[in-house]
Chain A
Amino acid sequence: MLFSRRLMLGLAMAGSMASALAVPAMAEGPTEIDLFFPVPVDGKLARDMGTLIKEFNDGHPDIKATAVYTGSYDDTLIKTRASIKAGKPPSAVIMSANFLLDMQIENELTNLDGLIAADGSTKEKFLGQFFPALHGNAVIDRSVYGVPFHNSTPLLYINADKAKEAGLDPSKPPQTWAELTDWAKKLTKRDGDKVTQWGIAIPCAYDYCGWMMETLTMTNGGRYYNEEFGGEVYYDTPSMLGALTWWNDLVSKHKVHPPGATPGPAVSTSFISGNAAMMMLSTGSLTYVRENAKFNYKVAFIPRNVRNAVPIGGASLIIPAGVEADKQKAAWTLIKWMTSPEKSAWWSRATGYFAPNMAAYKTPDMVEFLNKNPDAKTAVEQLDVAKPWFATYKTVPVRKNLEDEVMLVLNGKKQPKEALVAAQKAADETLKPYNAETSLKLP
């Protein structure tokens, strides 16, 4: 009795509070929209975003955009999903490009085809502004769901001073796995059994590890996942087996790569301090290396075994599902403005990501910047061979199914073949519900 009375009181109070809170806010004046943005690299980005949004608001008196910092890529996904569930989605989000498919499967994205058509444009024309490599992560089932905002590819970074010291010519960087292995051997310094300088370091932590596995698999001719359908990954394949075996050989056979799983920041610190002579890392780290390296460095394409190919990384602008029509329109104006050649180029120079809009590279400021920093060109040139970033149903767990096994291999606890068989099995299990609804749902 006591309990129920207390409960009723509580409920009544909660109810009256909720209704008090729900007094409708009168919509007058400019359309107010929120933009969720992550900061995946370092703190300065938040300030740059503030500058960008202020400029937008000054030029668009009928819209008042507010940039809301939402942490990492993963945090941004969480916060976006939470606000969609709460019925108050932000009007636009800068979302990690490979989360789009998963969100579309969960009905959390607005199809942008209608907004493009309302502008009197076509899908082909609209997408045509962006590098073709970026289309794969923006288009799902032939509809546009995302607009590429800032993107990256993996690069090979070389400490040019150390290369010269070892009698190698840094102007002719290694182009194949064989050459890279040779370079790494020559660049490794030993003191007895102890390694004092590693030839090469490749990051492996959740998120980065999957991206590097995709990179190595692609340069070995493979695909990692089915680009057309979110229910399949190709882990237990010759191309991935070759990739993982080579990575493992660098660690345990040639002993030119530090053992174990090393996260991205540890790899870049190691490179900056001269402890690793080469590393594979995102173009997103280029500004950091440029500002911190006290030696001459060189960036190059990721070497190939079968073909030159790399996955893209980075983020796209999306409009979540359930945004009201007027806000949708305002968000669309913001998105188009942010991805225009001038703004795209400005953001690229500020962050180190490449600008997805091809026309950005024809703006005078960008031409001047590239002449001053020719290393920023490599990432753009590599785009010719770039392919989409893996995106499946439940992208993160499916990626982790592989990463956990790769980490065991790099720690010498499993052989590549058995690790990949286990990864495939685990991933198939994770993908099962989606397949049950799609590929295995038969008439």
Chain B
Amino acid sequence: MSLAEPATLPVATSAPPRLNILKRFTTRFRTSLPAYLLLLPSLIFLALFTYGAMGRVVIDALYQRATPKAPLRFVGLDNITAVLADPAFTGAVVNNLIYALGTAVPSIGLALLFALALARTNAVTSALRAALFLPVLIPMVAASALFLFIFLPNVGLLDYYIGRLLPVLPNWLGDPDIALYAIMIITIWKNAGYYMLFFLAGLQSVPEDVMEAAHLDGAGPFSRLRYIILPELKPTFLFVIVIATLNAVTQVDHVFVMTKGGPSNATNLVLFYIYQQAVEHYDIGMASAATLLTLAALMSLTALSFRTMAKREGGS
């Protein structure tokens, strides 16, 4: 767009508008052609794999079959209302909210703690950073398979060590009261190291001279954290919160491997609900409607956060 604008302006002002529309159009097109040619490869793939698929979801969300052999017919927003009325969907939304809060807050807290503790670079902190970052390198599916063994009731690692201290051995993944929290532990374990990286980077931008000045003024470690470090880290926080929230919705590999949303839907998250609708119920209309709702929620959330971020950047 920015490439096209300057070239078109003189044409627009010099010629009488109506007669020259076609000419204007071709000139504009000719001047911006190189830009579009450059954009073309990515446009093609975006159209094929992103916009095309999204468009298809919008269309699919509007159709439904009344009975198995009946043809698809247009039902408007019926699929969306059906999804909203489905207790399994609302249950998944509630689970997802608990999951998002319960994974984002502890993992961001831990990440900040790790980053503050390991801010200075030396042999020891480098080794510790690597150790904390290690879970990020393990694919979620592999990690879930590992934790499946750790959580095995009675014979797993966790029960072997912790079980001796408890009066009754919990069935970590088989008890609907515990299962979601067991799943959350894996997410925190896996993501804290990743978020730590952002905070480590953010800490580099805390100005050294301000810290020194505060030090000379007699500000203790807590005051330095409260009044200098945390405010400086605000953009990092915003970014990490967005990433953590997106992760809470888009990462369901462990649910898939470990619980399949069970027991009794206790670990069913929104994305897994969509999978169930599409695959188990074979109901593309419902699955598309649920996808649209999730997309809308995620997009508005992301827009909101980045707008807040942009405002801050513009203001400072």
Q: Which of B121-129, B198-206, B276-284, B294-302 contacts the other chain?
A: B276-284
Within 8 Å of chain B (Cβ to Cβ): is A13? Answer: yes
Alpha-carbon distance A411/B179, docked complex (angstroms): 12
> Are the CB atoms of A275 and B154 closer together than 8 Å?
yes
Is there contact, CB below 8 Å, between A407 and B263? yes
B94 to chain A, nearest CB (A): 16
Give the complex CA separation of A394 and B171 in angstroms: 30
Q: How far is the CA of A102 from the CA of B282 in the complex (A)?
A: 10
Number of interface residues of A (CB under 8 A): 54
Contacts of A17 in B (CB 8 A): 44, 48
Q: Which one of B64-72, B96-104, B183-191, B305-313 is at the interface?
A: B64-72
B106 interface contact, C-beta 8 A: no
Cβ-defined contact, B168 with A194, below 8 A: yes
Partner of A205, one of B40, B262, B282: B262
Tally of A-B Cβ pairs under 8 angstroms:
127
**B167 CB-CB contact with A under 8 Å:** yes
Cβ of A434 under 8 Å from chain B:
yes
**Docked complex: B67-86 residues within 8 A CB-CB of A:** 67-70
Decide if B169 is an interface residue (CB 8 Å cutoff): yes
- From A9, A10, A266, B153 is in contact (CB under 8 Å) with A266
Number of residues of chain B lying within 8 A (CB) of chain A: 42
Q: Which of A14, A74, A205, A437 contacts B69 (CB 8 A)?
A: A437
Which chain B residues lie closer than 8 Å to A205 at the CB level?
A: 260, 262
> Residues of A contacting B227 with CB < 8 Å?
none
Q: Closest approach, in angstroms, between the C-beta of B176 and any C-beta of chain A?
A: 6
The reply to whether A262 and B44 contact each other, CB–CB distance below 8 Å, is no
- Please state if A411 and B263 are interface contacts (CB–CB under 8 Å): yes
User: Shortest beta-carbon distance, A255 to chain B, in Å?
Assistant: 11
Note all chain A residues with C-beta closer than 8 A to B154. Answer: 198, 258, 270, 275-276
Mask: chain A, 389-405; 1 = CB below 8 Å from B; 0 = not: 00001101100100111
Contacts of B69 in A (CB 8 A): 105, 107, 437
Which residues from chain B contact A194 at a C-beta distance below 8 Å? 167-169
Q: In the docked arrangement, what's the CA distance between A17 and B65, Å?
A: 32
Check if B176 sits within 8 Å of A394, measured CB to CB.
no
Q: Could you tell me if B168 and A433 are in contact, using CB atoms closer than 8 angstroms?
A: no
Mask: chain A, 222-250; 1 = CB below 8 Å from B; 0 = not? 00000000000000000000000000000
Nearest CB in chain B: distance from A81 CB, A: 7
Cβ proximity bits B146-166 to A, threshold 8 Å, 1 near / 0 not: 001000111100000000000
Q: How many angstroms between the C-alpha atoms of A394 and B29 in the bound complex?
A: 54
Main secondary structure of the interface of A (DSSP, over half): helix
B235 at interface by CB-CB < 8 Å = no
* A258 pairs with B167, CB closer than 8 A: no
Nearest-CB residue, chain B, relative to A441? B67
Cβ contact within 8 Å between B43 and A260: no
Q: A315 contacts the other chain (Cβ, under 8 Å)?
A: no
User: Do B44 and A405 touch (CB < 8 A)?
Assistant: no
**B265 CB contacts on chain A under 8 angstroms:** 404
Residue A273, interface by CB 8 Å: yes
List chain B residues, Cβ under 8 A from A266. Answer: 152-153
Cβ-defined contact, A261 with B70, below 8 A = no
Q: Which residues of B contact A6 (CB under 8 A)?
A: 36, 43
For residue A22, CB closer than 8 A to chain B, the reply is: no
CA A10 – CA B40 in complex, angstroms?
8
Chain A residues with CB under 8 Å of chain B are: 2, 5-7, 9-11, 13-14, 17, 74, 77-78, 81, 102, 105-107, 193-194, 198, 204-206, 258-263, 265-266, 269-270, 273, 275-276, 393-394, 396-397, 400, 403-405, 407-408, 410-411, 413, 433-434, 436-437
A-B contact pairs, 10 of them (CB 8 A): A6-B36, A10-B47, A105-B68, A204-B263, A275-B154, A397-B276, A400-B280, A411-B175, A413-B176, A433-B65
* List of 9 A-B pairs having minimum Cβ-Cβ separation, nearest first: A260-B171, A260-B174, A10-B47, A407-B263, A437-B67, A261-B174, A261-B263, A396-B280, A404-B264
* Extra pairs beyond A105-B69, A261-B171, A263-B174 (5, CB < 8 Å): A2-B1, A74-B280, A206-B261, A258-B153, A260-B263
Which positions in B face A, CB cutoff 8 Å? 1, 29, 36, 40, 43-44, 46-48, 51-52, 65-70, 148, 152-155, 167-169, 171, 173-177, 260-265, 276, 279-282
